[in-house]
Structure 1
Amino acid sequence: MAGHTEIHAKVSEILSAAGFEVHPFLIGWYNENVQTPFELPYDPDTLAFIIFSTPAMFDKAFKPFICRQSCDQQRDPIDECMIHHFNMVREAFPSEEIETLHDFEMTATRRPKVLVQTAGHVAGAAYYYQRKDVEPDEWDSKKKIYGVSIHPKYGGWFALRGVIIFQKVHQPDLPHREPEDCVKSREDRIKLLEGFNYNWQDWTYRDIVPAQDKYSEEQMKYFATMPKDRKEVVEEIKAKHCGDGKE
């Protein structure tokens, strides 16, 4: 059975060329930070990876995917693209038992199958800023304040896409790495959380720290469009980047 270093290298080799980053963690680290309904049913030492898309994913993975695939529009093309790339990892490890959990997947009770921001935090990939990180508390106790992850290199210009679990690989010696706290002041944390909760559509919360790379105008247009209306945007992209636009 391959060790975490070998597995990490192979998963990264598959996904990094397509604009993804891969970070390992243990299921126990995740389960210690979520409520019981969200715990994953594996041994605490089970190896898993959080996968996130960088700004480069749109050009390196999404455009090529929609140029060669016929998306049925029953699912958002981005989600179909993520399924495709996660399956590439599964196919590369035919002897391993692998579970993939995507950020868009829900249980029968409409609960997310995995809390990707928590997974990203415990993996040391991106700091998950929450209400508890603002002391003293700024908001009315009855108000819901949603948390948001910030990456030291990309700021908010990235997306946590899901988790890949190697069900039979146990790695109790996996080094634990803390995420970089790049929004240190109380004032900036308030600005970040209020920007995300109240004005997320203006994108400004993503610039709470300087980003080395950001979404292109084309990418922002896609994500700013409601999923039900994205077919037209996809057709525009295909016409521009896929030759004659035909499958």
Structure 2
Amino acid sequence: MAISSESVEGLIGTFRESLEAQGFEIYPFKVGWYNAVLSPAHHLHYPADTLAVVVLSSPSMFERSFLPFLRSQCCEGLRDPIDQCSAHTVSSAVSLCFPSQSVDVSYDYEMLPNRRPKFLAQTAAHVSGAAYYYQKSDVHSPPWADKKMFGVCIHPKLGGWFAIRALLVFKDVRAGADLQQKDPPDCVRSQEERIELLERFNFRWQDWSYRDMVPTEERYSDQQREYFRTPPGQRGELLRHWGFLTDTDSEKQSSTNKQG
């Protein structure tokens, strides 16, 4: 039986509060909204009205979750520490808030055997209304001819200062017809701004200027910027310098391409 949008909020309310206190945001959507904009190869294999939730991290996650996570010595030193923190935080909240629910959880770094990501994070953010996914197709007569341009999500309050971390699918929960899809706020409206955004992201992503295409309420702290600006292979040494890892742990830190 399908549940109302009010019941959806009742179901996920405690989960939302738990994660918001730790620097995360959640946005519910129906699996059908996601599948409708993707090729079958990327579909989520659940009924169209199955309830799903996408999880984002805001800048405050670093101080509220990541640093306490490191202080607790939960970091194994074998995987990306941010990934470990996100998985630990989300999985703990799922276990606490949904003890009787069957919930499939996928993280942004996980891959299928065919090397495709388990879910397309930016598409999930867009269809949930969390952040607008700007792509080359959003530009009329793009100036880049046949050049491949990667798209980027912009959050209405955080700009580009956020990351998409996880997808939850409530296998046995069907959302009712009153859970209506809402378009994400289109905060980069002009064609000139969209061109500038995509060029900043594709050609100058390392200067992070694309993150400030819109006014933002929150940005990464200086310590967080130092962490993400440090090459992945050197972050273990940085954490050791900060006192969070032993020499052995920093040597084990694997190199990843995560930009945060």
Query: Shift of the alpha carbon at 1:69?
Result: 2.6
- Identify which of 1, 14, 19 aligns with 1:15: 19
Residues of 2 paired with 1:126 and 1:18: CA distance?
A: 20
- Identify which of 144, 151, 157 aligns with 1:153: 157
Q: Please list the CA deviations of residues 99-119 of structure 1 after superposition, one character each: whole Å capped at 9, or x if unmatched.
A: 111111111121111011000
Query: Shift of the alpha carbon at 1:8?
Result: 2.2
Query: Shift of the alpha carbon at 1:75?
Result: 0.7
Q: Alignment RMSD, CA only?
A: 1.4
**Which residue in the other structure is 1:114 paired with?**
119
Please say if residues 50 and 170 of structure 2, whose CA atoms lie closer than 8 Å, have aligned partners that are also in contact. yes
- Identify which of 73, 96, 115 aligns with 1:69: 73
**Which residue in the other structure is 1:105 paired with?**
110
Residues of 1 paired with 2:102 and 2:241: CA distance?
A: 39
Letter in 1 for 2:172: K
Query: Shift of the alpha carbon at 1:152?
Result: 0.8
Q: Please list the CA deviations of residues 181-206 of structure 1 after superposition, one character each: whole Å capped at 9, or x if unmatched.
A: 00001111011001101110001010
- Identify which of 188, 193, 197 aligns with 1:188: 193
Q: Which runs of 5+ in 1 are unaligned?
A: 240-247
Number of residue pairs matched?
238
Amino-acid identity (%)? 46
Residues of 2 paired with 1:12 and 1:238: CA distance?
A: 32
Pair 1:175 & 2:183 matched: no
Distance 1:144 1:67, change over 3 A: same
**Which residue in the other structure is 1:78 paired with?**
82
**Which residue in the other structure is 1:208 paired with?**
213
Please say if residues 54 and 157 of structure 1, whose CA atoms lie closer than 8 Å, have aligned partners that are also in contact. yes
Residues of 1 paired with 2:72 and 2:13: CA distance?
A: 27
Q: Please list the CA deviations of residues 67-115 of structure 1 after superposition, one character each: whole Å capped at 9, or x if unmatched.
A: 1033222110000001101112321211110111111111112111101
Q: Secondary structure at the match of 1:69?
A: coil
Letter in 2 for 1:199: R
Letter in 2 for 1:47: L
**Which residue in the other structure is 2:48 paired with?**
44
TM-score normalised to the size of structure 2?
0.88
Please say if residues 22 and 64 of structure 2, whose CA atoms lie closer than 8 Å, have aligned partners that are also in contact. yes
Q: Please list the CA deviations of residues 115-146 of structure 1 after superposition, one character each: whole Å capped at 9, or x if unmatched.
A: 110000000000000000000122121x2100
Q: Write out the 4+ residue segments of structure 1 that deviate beyond 4 Å after TM superposition.
A: none
Residues of 1 paired with 2:12 and 2:141: CA distance?
A: 40
Q: Please list the CA deviations of residues 28-68 of structure 1 after superposition, one character each: whole Å capped at 9, or x if unmatched.
A: 00011112111001011011111101111100010001110
Letter in 2 for 1:107: L
Pair 1:198 & 2:200 matched: no
After superposing the two structures, state which structure 1 stretch, 83-92 or 209-218, moved more: 83-92
